[in-house]
Amino acid sequence: MTIAIEPLHPLFGAEIKGVDIAAGLDAATFAVIRGAFEEHSVLLFRGQKVDDAIQIAFSERFGPLEKTVAANPARGTVFARQSNIDMATGALIPKDDRRMKYQAGNYLWHSDSSFKQVPSLCSILSTREVPPEGGNTEFASTRAAYDLLPDELKAELEGLVVEHSLVYSRSLTGFEMTEQEKAELPTARQILVRTNPVNGRKGLMIGAHAARIVDWPEEKGRALLDELLALTTRPEACYSHAWRDGDLIVWDNRCCLHRATPYDSTRYRRLMQRTTVAGDGPAV
């Protein structure tokens, strides 16, 4: 098999062709994929036949998997399920159900698990049921945004620490956590400017979970976080992925943001399974 790497967007992202994930990957093939991941941040694989076991085996090549927390329907497993399907009955989950309200947080630009003490390396999302329209996932590169910053601002950002919180980000969409859920979700501190250990490229730990800049006045910190988010996610800098059956995407949570887009969950079925690979240590 020959692997081909083709760009998805001028700023970041690549489609990896010539790889059959279900067949198992030898060390040399995985090394190419891992190198492409460090370089391109978002990797698309099309035409894959992936079930839960295959997804776990592939994901573990990147590192140990996280367990899913909070109110995600797959809580307590290694999967985060983005779906309007009740797995017990197969029926569509009503729009006003708590599980759907929780998933509305995905409409905000975010980096998965940036609210955890050990932030994630990457997420892997595979399609199981794709709606005929809507439900794209969009991606943006904080690395590309960082490169555009003026040198004085880069210098000012160096060493800043950001408090990330899932309780904060879910409050933005009006989702109310129970006291027990809140107690299980302490805030986490991440370094704002994060350097990739392989290539030295810098990215920003921002997104919906980024609540405040430590030791800065509330409003000044909020203004900076909002400005960096707006720069990162300006429309021409985003890649919008229209899912097809058999797609699987790996994204780098250290230097990318992503968000879900709406679909008609009262008419169409959507089932996406995410595994999340833990990072190798606290960012601060």
Residue sitting closest to ligand OGA (CB): 260
Of residues 29 and 114, the one with the C-beta less far from ligand OGA: 114
Residues binding ligand OGA: number (CB under 6 A): 11
- Residue 265 binds ligand OGA, judged by CB under 6 A: no
- Least separation in angstroms between CB 137 and Mn ion: 8
DSSP string, 65-113: BPPP-TT-TTTTSSEEEEESB-TTT-PBPPTTSHHHHHHGGGGS-B-TT
- Residue 272 binds ligand OGA, judged by CB under 6 A: yes
Helix (H, G, I), strand (E, B) or coil at 185: coil
Positions in 224-263 near ligand OGA (CB under 6 A): 258, 260
Positions in 142-201 near ligand OGA (CB under 6 A): none
- Residue 112 binds ligand OGA, judged by CB under 6 A: yes
- Residue 123 binds ligand OGA, judged by CB under 6 A: yes
CA end-to-end distance (rounded Å), the chain: 41
- Residue 93 binds ligand OGA, judged by CB under 6 A: no
CA separation, residue 164 to residues 2, 141, 187, 254, 274 (Å): 41, 19, 6, 14, 21
Of residues 105 and 221, the one with the C-beta less far from ligand OGA: 105
Positions in 65-124 near Mn ion (CB under 5 A): 112
Q: Which of 82, 84, 111, 190 binds ligand OGA (CB under 6 A)?
A: 82
- Residue 125 binds ligand OGA, judged by CB under 6 A: yes
- Report d(CA 65, CA 79) in Å as an integer: 9
- Report d(CA 267, CA 282) in Å as an integer: 42
- Report d(CA 164, CA 168) in Å as an integer: 8
Indicate which of Mn ion, ligand OGA, none lies near residue 36 (CB less than 5 to 8 Å, by partner kind): none
Indicate which of ligand OGA, Mn ion, none lies near residue 181 (CB less than 5 to 8 Å, by partner kind): none
- According to DSSP, the β-strands at 14-17 and 42-45 are parallel
Cα dihedral 11/13/18/19 (nearest 10)? 160
- Give contact residues for ligand OGA (rule: CB under 6 A): 80, 82, 106, 112, 123, 125, 137, 258, 260, 272, 274
